[in-house]
Structure formats: structure tokens, C-alpha cells
Amino acid sequence: MSNWYQLGISEVLQQLDTDVTHGLTDAQVNHRRQTYGANELVERGRKNPWKILWEQLKAPLVVMLVIAAIISLAVGDYKNSIAIMAIVLLNAFLGFDQERKAEEAMAALKKLATPEVKVRRNGQVQEVSASELVPGDIVLLEAGNLVPADGRLLESFNLRVQEASLTGESEPIEKNEQVIFDTEQPLGDRLNMVYMGTTVTYGRSTVAIAETGMQTQLGNIANLIQTVESEPTPLQRRLEQLGKILGLIAVAIAGVIFVLGLLRGEELKDMFLTAVSLVVAAVPEGLPAVVTIALALGAKRMLKRHALIRKLPAVETLGSITTICSDKTGTLTQNRMTVTVLDVAGERLDFTNIRQETLEPENLVGQEASVLNNNPTLSLLLTSGTLCNDAVLEANAPGEPLNQAIGDPTETALVVAAARVELLKASLERVFPRIAEVPFDSERKCMTTLHQCPATAAEIPSTLASAWSLIQLEGVPTCLSFSKGAIDTLLDISSAVWVNDHIEPLNETWCERIKEAHDLLAKDGLRILAVAFRSWQSTPPDQQQQTLERDLILIGLVGMIDPARPEVKAAIQTCQTAGIRAVMITGDHPLTARHIANELGITSNGNLLTGQELNQLSIEELEEIVESVDVYARVSPEHKLNIIQALKDKGHIVAMTGDGVNDAPALKKADIGVAMGVTGTDVAKEASDVVLQDDNFATIVAAVEEGRVIYDNIRKFIKYTLTGNGGELWVILLAPFLGMPLPLEPLQILWVNLIADGMLALALSVEPAESNVMRRRPYKPNENIFGRGVGRDIVWIALVLGLGLLAVAYGYWSVDSSNIKMMQTMVFTTLAFSRMGLALALRSERDSLFKIGLLSNKPLLGVVFLTFVLQLVVLYVPFLQGFFGTTALAWDDLAICLGLSILLFVAVELEKLLLHGRKSS
């Protein structure tokens, strides 16, 4: 059953057939272990390594490359065969390695479930492995313990549990065994339960184990991780489609040319070699290498921007993202509670202007001291919150400045806020040493400390001098007591309120005003503490709660929140400009979630759904509203999966960020799973595609830009290689109809393929971003790789190139039909030079080469120069002339080749100029 939190303690013990003082007997333990099994997460069988390898080799483009390599080997072209197979094997290895690593999420998850625990059995406390626990075991937990299984609290003493890995709640949760719920509650609100994999941060408790192994919440997450199947990325789907199309076209054209050649009386062997060469030419065997290198270089650039890529295909997929679903804590926010508002009677100080500061020595002290010089009440408020406090400021090393806050997140926020106005805790405690305390209690929701006052006013810090003068108006105190806690508690034990420079009775009017101020802060999602004090003319003889916590003077309220990261708002705006929607999915409180979402500009309509509301919706109903809801709060791992599934069903490419164990299934389900590198659990990292080394949402946006650049460059490569190969096909296909011999020899085709589809194409893969890369909407996930003009450009540019080559061939053949080598050399050289000019012209889809600058891609410029020199070597070195069937060209013939290649460059530039004005981005 899953509703243990709705049962009273006696009902739980009855259902589990156990006893809180005696625990289970050995016989009961053995019987239940046979019934329920070990308290372990079950790992399903992993995918067979051979199956993973086969999946890497069965893609259509890879199959074609293998066939081309075999044919090349059969006709004696060993170098080409070896090169193609090297590309195939490299691609297969990278894919195999990435998928094998993706299987490691479960191993990390299992590490969370194997602590040693104290359990009461046979009336005695024993220490056993967590794997040996069974339902009904009575477990004793204390601060620092990892919770070994899901359990119902039987007793608790100031228990706080850090559940962020399961719920996303940034602060430890105060637990209470007496609470019983009548209705269904989100995981984060089940105050009488503890869950496997969470950590006790404070207090101690006795727990009845209710669920073990795969029946726990962690087990449910393990099941979700293992049931989520990987899906091909948009790039993988496009390349598979491209492989099928090119395969059919290449085989068809090669077959036609082969038959036509035989009908014209050409030698069978020559036509076979030509047909094979054409197949190899038509298939861009450099594509897998270009894609792999482009992705690897992109991953390297992303690493410099703090995004670690775990799976190479994720690099390109980032560029296709239409929706980013982000966790709140630590990604959109700083994961550090920060004082943002001080509220006292008559005045409110907004600390917003220091919320962006980091806890560094130069920022720590004196940031807002001038603001408090004329307001002693605010100084007293911060002093009280700092002295009634167990957090400390420490240095990273002896002799260094104090720059590290240690303790409860709420208390560290108070200490840091005071330090910024030159009220350092260590200095205050020297002046006002603590002599007694009443610790925080979850029932009272209050903490009180008693402090000795200094002997002389000279010891009082300057920032507290004005407040100290006002305190002395009631008489020189011997002691001061300070209390902080929930507003309702402090109103009950206070009899007065501090108003500016005097004290007024805490009447009904003041109570209403204070509650109204509290509610206004609460609506902004702030966590609020009330602070009060009392002066003692003599040391109270009874330093107990009943004495210290009465007749207090209420000073004011402190509002704090885990603030938004300063750079995230700009990143959200960049996303919106780029047509990417940001959605917040968090386990945190709805008010807090809405406040942060409004502040960052994630939502404008205020639409928010909670986990309870999601429980009432089917997937179909969620799909109808998922594109209009920007914020989800108090969600479970299943809810995150449903949201992602609904978005994907609507055609979106979804990125999901997360750091907790509860995020792992969603990270795996999303098209791109993005884990936090600093605060993220190992489980989340292993389930992800990308790890952010700085836990920063803005880094995702930078990675999206890199992804778009990579996809654009892959498209440019495809356009470039297919236009050039298409030109070759046209001239070879049309030449026989004019009665001409073959205008290119097989080795010449393969040479052009090597320099063009190899070196020049690889240089295109490092092309910088287009000018509009983050000012356009994402391309549709199901977009054909030939879409948006690529197919059109391939056809017309290939045709122009083919006709130009045909004109050269016919011109030289008609003048001297016996000098076939001269004709072939002219076609060969014109084709090689044209591919160089084409590479420069296709660097940008919309901007002229002269606008983007000749030097903006220096590697490509260097490769163009190198290939030009290599082509001249092939023309003029005697040994290579015999090998490639070329003859030395006169300078005027060489000029014709260059002139024709420049004409093709000009034609492509003119097309961009004509279309630029109406070309949609």
C-alpha cells in the first residue's frame, strides 16, 4: 500500500504486525524476507553488447559505405576501401561506447540503498545492512544517517530530513509523526514519512519500515529509469532518411550509366569501374566522419562553456530543442537561501540589490551598512537573528577571510545578511556571549537564546550603537534574550512591538498589521521568520522555555528565498527570441515556484499546475493544455515523465534539467537530459546526455547555440558534397548522348572526392555561427534534411556545374577528338577548382562571403590553398600524371578552368543576394 501517511501510528503497527519496543523476531524477519525479498533495487538485464554494436552498423548510410568499401576492394582500390572502413569502424565504436555508458544510471542508483542501519529486533538494537531490512522492522535514525527504506515515523525529536533528491525541495523538511492526512498529499508534504535515499540532517527518530526494495519511492524511480527507452535523435533520423534516398539515387544513376556505356561499346571493365566510382562519388562517405568530427569539436567548445557532453549525438540535438523543462533549485536559482526583505513597523528594506552577490571576501562585509545607519530597528533585527542562531562563518583556510557559511540554510542566510552590514557573528558573540538557550522545536516552531550584556557601552559595535541606546531607555540590561520562529508562535508569546524609537503594546490592530505584512511576503513565495527580544535587568533564575519565551518585544520580520541566478533572466529572453519555450517543473511550493517564474519571465499568464491537479488528468487531457502551462509545482517523477511525454506527443524536442534522483527518469525520457555537475547526484548524471559543470541555466542556452551551429554546418556539408557530386553525375550521364567518351576517369572522380568531400568538407564543419542563429525559431523536428532550399540548391547548382563541365568537355573534344586525355584533364581541373569556390560560397546560407569575411574561417581558407596546390601537383608532376591520366595544362587553359569555377561561385553568391530579402529565418 502507498497511503501509510494517512494512517495513525497504532494502525501502522497493526498493519505491519510489529511492536515498537520489541521489534520483529528472527522468525518474522526470515518469513518476510522470503515474501518481500531483499531490500535492494533490482537491475533488469542490460542490452547485449553485440546488439548495441549491430545497431551502430545497420544504418542505411553505413551499410552503403560498407558495400562501397567491399566493391572498392574488389576492383583493387585498397586505399579508398581502407579509408571508408576506418570511418565506419570509428563511427561504430563511438556509438557503442556512448550507449554502453548510458546504461550506468542503475549502478549509481543502487549505491544509494546500501547503508548500515540500527534496527530493533528481539527486543535488542542491532546493526545490520540495509539490504536485510523487511517491512515491519523498527529502525533508529539520527543526524547524518541515510534513510534505508520507506517508513512511517513512530517517534521523532526535532527531526529534519533533506529530501531534495526526491522532491526538489531545497531545504530540509521538518517531520512530525503525529500528523495524519485525510487526503492524498504530494511526496514533499508527507511530514510523517521518511523515504529511502534521503538524509537525516537534524534530530533523531524511530521508524517503522513500511516498504522495501522496488516498492519504495526510490524503487519506483529505478523502475521508471529502466522502462524509458532511448529514441533516435533528429540528426540520426535525418541521416537515416538521407542514406536511403542517396542509396536509391546512386544505384539508379550508376546502373543507367553502366548500361549506356555498354550500349555505346565501352569496355565492360571500364564501365564497371566507372559505375563503382560514381556510386562512391554519389555517396558522401565523408559524412559520418564530418558528423563525428563536427560533434566532437562542438563538444569541445561546449566544455569551454561549462557543458560536458556525455553522448555525442546530444550536441546536435541541443540545436533542435523547442522546449526546455527546467528544475528550479540550483538551476534557475542559486541554491542558497538569501535574505531579501527586512520588515519592521513603519519601514521595509529590500535586499534585492545584493541578491546577486556571491559569498566572496570583497562582497561579504559593508555592502549595505549605510542603509542601516539611520534605522536602529533594522540593525537590532539582524543582530537578533544572528545571535539566536547556530550557523557560523568560517574561512576556507587559517588566516583567510570569512567567506564560508556553515549550518542550516535559513540560519546561514541570516548570518550572511548581518555580515553584509558589518555585524559579524563572531564579533557579536564576543560582546554578547550566549549563556543559555531553548533549542528549536518543531511543535513550538521557535528558538530562543539568552546572552550576557557587555559591561560598558564602548564594547558595542558602531552599527548597533543607536539600537543599544534605545534598549537602555528601559534601564541598563544585564541580559538579552532573542527569539526567532513562526509568526503565529511569536505573536502568542509577545506583549509589545518595537516601533521606530519606542515600544508599543501589541494590541489587536498591531497583530492584524503584522499578519498582513507577513501574508504579503508569503504571496511572493518567501520563507518568513519573525524575530523578537527581551531585556532582563537581572539574570533570570529559571532559564527554561516557560520563563524566556514570554512577554517578548516583537522587532519585525525577515523574508528570505532561494533567489534567481542573475544571468538566467537574460538567458530566458534569449530562449524566447530563439523560439524556445522555458518551462519550470519543480517539487517546491507553488507560491515559491510562481514567484521565481514571474521574476525570470518564464510565465506571463500565471498558469500553474500542481502534482495533485496533474493526478486528475489523463495524458490526452494534459496534451490539450501542456503548451499553455509554464509552471508545474509539487510534482513527482511520474508527473515529470507525463509532462515530457505530452510535449513530445505535440511534436516538441524537449530538454529536461535536473539534479536529484527523482529527476533521473525524466532526464532519460527527454530528448536531451541535462544534469547538474555541482549539486547533481550520480544517478542524475548517469541518466543524462549533458552535465552542466556550473549548474547554470544560461549554459544550456550557450549549448543550444553550439548545437544549432553544428546542425547548420552539417547541412552545409551535405549541400556542398551533393552539389559537387551531382555535377559529376550530370556530366558523365549527359556526355554519352553527345557521342563523347567518358569525360572523367574513375581515379579522377575519387581524387576530387578525396580533396572535396574530405578536406574541404571537414573545414566547413568548423564554420562560425550564422548571424541569425539565435534569432530564429528552432527548425521543425521532422524537417527533411533537404528542406528550406537545400534540395533546390543541390539540383540547380549541380546542374549548372554539370553543364559547365559538359561545355568544357565538348569544346575541347570537338576541337581535337583524338586528345581525350586533354579533354578529361580540363574537366577534371575545372571540377576541382569549382569545388574549392563552391566551398567558399556555401559557407553561409544567407550572407555573402564578403560580409562574413574571408578570414572568419581560417582553416577552410588554408585547406582551399592546400587543395589548389595539390591539384597543380597532380597536373604537373610526371609520376602523378601517369597515375591520374592527366596532362600538363598551358596557362591559358588553366585560366579557363579558374574562370569557370569563379562563375559558379558568382552564381551562388547572386542567388543569396536575390533571396536574402525574402528568405525566412
User: Quick one: which of 31, 213, 28, 232 has its CA closest to 138?
Assistant: 28
Q: CB of 656 within 8 A of CB of 325?
A: yes
Residues 459, 461, 465, 470, CA torsion sign: negative
Q: Which residue bears the cell 524509458?
A: 228
Which residues fall within 8 angstroms of residue 112, CB to CB, at 6 or more apart?
A: 146, 196, 197, 218, 661, 681, 683
Q: Which helix (H) or strand (E) holds 809?
A: helix 790-815
3-state secondary structure 876-900: HCHHHHHHHCCCCCCHHHHHHHHHH
Q: CB of 333 within 8 A of CB of 565?
A: yes
Between CA 126 and CA 685, with CA 128 as vertex, the angle to 5 degrees is: 140
Out of 327, 562, 663, 712, the active site residue is: 327
For the chain, the farthest-separated pair of C-alpha atoms sits apart, in whole angstroms, at 122
**What are the φ/ψ torsions at residue 844 (nearest 5 degrees)?**
-130, 145
The neighbour count for residue 663, using CB atoms within 10 Å, is 32
Helix and strand totals (H; E) in the chain: 37, 26
The neighbour count for residue 605, using CB atoms within 10 Å, is 9
3-state secondary structure 191-208: CCEECCCCEEEEEEEEEE
Alpha-carbon distance of 535 to 822, in angstroms, equals 108
Alpha-carbon distance of 850 to 828, in angstroms, equals 28
User: Quick one: which of 362, 550, 528, 380 has its CA closest to 461?
Assistant: 380
Residues 97, 103, 105, 108, CA torsion sign: negative
In whole angstroms, how far apart are CA 228 and each of 236, 261, 664, 684, 889? Answer: 19, 54, 10, 14, 63
327 is catalytic: yes
Pairing relationship of beta strands 552-561 and 654-658 according to DSSP bridges: unpaired
The neighbour count for residue 598, using CB atoms within 10 Å, is 16
Strands (E), 471-526: 479-485, 494-499, 502-505
Separation of CA 401 from chain center: 34
In whole angstroms, how far apart are CA 822 and each of 266, 401, 819? Answer: 19, 80, 6
In whole angstroms, how far apart are CA 669 and each of 231, 673, 690? Answer: 9, 8, 13
User: Quick one: which of 760, 757, 916 has its CA closest to 845?
Assistant: 916
Q: Which residue bears the cell 596557362?
A: 891
User: Quick one: which of 561, 658, 633, 523 has its CA closest to 336?
Assistant: 561
Alpha-carbon distance of 731 to 805, in angstroms, equals 6
Alpha-carbon distance of 277 to 269, in angstroms, equals 12
C-alpha cell recorded at residue 700: 544550456
* DSSP assignment of 394-447: EESSTTS-EEEEES-HHHHHHHHHHHTTT--HHHHHHHS-EEEEEEEETTTTEE
User: Quick one: which of 54, 56, 60, 86 has its CA closest to 72?
Assistant: 86
The residues that are catalytic are 327
